[in-house]
Structure 1
Amino acid sequence: MRKRTPKARRIVVRLLVAGGVAAVLLYTEGQWESRSGGLMLVADLLNRPELLLGAALAALIAAAWLGDRRTALRTATRTVTVTAGVVFLLGVLAAHKVAAAETRSRETAPARPERALVVVHRSYAATARTGDSWQVLLESGEGWSARRWSLLEIGRAPDEARLVEASWTGRDQITVVTDSYRRVFNLDQDSGEPVEAR
């Protein structure tokens, strides 16, 4: 007669599975809010793949190791979960290897302290991908309702344009100048959403 899994162990397995699923759902929400116009604080808190997906993977591996009773199923589950863990770890290490040196500049809007122009500069000189890239962002609002809008990404490829200047050119206007073009964005009075001037 096969020995039954103790009730406490089944509860732990269910909690681990629930925790793993919750971590994936939280990361998915953070990823969604990282889009242009998404909630800034939610994106900053939850768009953390290494932390949340790593925790989900660890919880699901632990649940698999504790929960399976049959030897063949247990061996197969352990093989799959350990392989997934190794692949995840290699992905994290690869992401850190190609990480860029990053600097940020921030300028608040004239007479509108709840709006800020942010320029993120990334330099990839020490990696296989050489060059610089810039991300021009607008942060609008305060607290949990604050939103982050992506205006432009410049220099993603080595032969692309380089940023010359991004600045406020009015109370509700941002101008971005590169070495090959100039773009003007007007901000919606109510939502703060940037719309490129035509």
Structure 2
Amino acid sequence: MLADLLDRPVLLLGTAAGLLLAALVLAPPSRGRAAFAVPAVLVGGVLVLRVLVGALDAAAPEHSTVRVAAAPGRDDRVLRVVRHTSGPSAEGRWSVEVETGHGWSARRWLLDVFGSGTAGGPFEGCRWAGPDRIVVQAADGDRVYEVADAGPRRVPGG
């Protein structure tokens, strides 16, 4: 989750700029050039943290987003189909996710996982059936999810 959060360049640069500004405001002006050491250390710390998170992310199982579709009439809801390409049971493994919100308030929800070791059978597809409804198609039938601000929930019987 931390790697996903820090993999947003605008948020990373905004955080670094905010820390730099805070360091400049908090640094005593009487020190002259030494006052710039505090912002440099803070920005350097953010960059080192980013490199460490990148290294952790490289060790994580790889995946690729195959399809991204925004909800009709709503740009704050995005449906993603992810194909997992590494790990012990990655061959033929898929996940369906929905992301709600923008920026810092964005949340990603896992709807379903398909492939070896899962009960749903092979993944066949998914689509928006309206701005608040997602239909996920699997070999064992369709699953319907309603997306609310608090997150998605599976519709009984769907």
Please classify the TM superposition score into its range, dividing by the shorter chain length. 0.5 to 0.7
1:119 aligned to which of 53, 60, 81: 81
Quickly say closer, same or farther: Cα 1:110–1:192, change in 2 above 3 A: farther
**Alignment map for 1:138-153 (pairs within 5 Å):** 138-153=98-113
Match of 1:51 in 2: 52
Match of 2:154 in 1: 196
User: What CA distance in whole angstroms lies between the structure 2 residues aligned with 1:171 and 1:128?
Assistant: 36
Higher relative contact order (CA 8 A, sep 6+): 1
Match of 1:41 in 2: 5
User: What CA distance in whole angstroms lies between the structure 2 residues aligned with 1:186 and 1:179?
Assistant: 21
Structure number with greater Rg is 1
Q: What is the Cα deviation at residue 159 of structure 1?
A: 8.4
1:132 aligned to which of 92, 114, 122: 92
Q: What is the Cα deviation at residue 165 of structure 1?
A: 0.9
- Which residue identity lines up with residue 107 of structure 1 in the other structure? A
The answer to whether structure 1 residue 161 and structure 2 residue 121 are counterparts is yes
1:132 and 1:158 in contact (8 A); partners too? no
The alignment covers a number of residue pairs equal to 118
User: What CA distance in whole angstroms lies between the structure 2 residues aligned with 1:142 and 1:166?
Assistant: 22
User: What CA distance in whole angstroms lies between the structure 1 residues aligned with 2:76 and 2:151?
Assistant: 13
1:67-126 deviations in Å (ceiling 9; x for gaps): xxxxxxxxxxxxxxxxxxxxxxxxx99x57xx55634310000000111001101245xx
Percent identical pairs in the alignment equals: 28
- With structure 2 as the length reference, what TM-score do the two structures score? 0.58
- Which residue identity lines up with residue 196 of structure 1 in the other structure? R
- Across the aligned residues of Structure 1 and Structure 2, the Cα RMSD in angstroms comes to 3.8
Match of 2:135 in 1: 175
Quickly say closer, same or farther: Cα 1:181–1:148, change in 2 above 3 A: same
Q: What is the Cα deviation at residue 180 of structure 1?
A: 1.5
Quickly say closer, same or farther: Cα 1:130–1:52, change in 2 above 3 A: closer
Q: Which runs of 5+ in 2 are unaligned?
A: 13-48
- Which residue identity lines up with residue 41 of structure 1 in the other structure? L
Q: Which runs of 5+ in 1 are unaligned?
A: 1-29, 35-39, 56-91
1:130 and 1:158 in contact (8 A); partners too? no
More helix by share: 1
User: What CA distance in whole angstroms lies between the structure 2 residues aligned with 1:195 and 1:159?
Assistant: 18
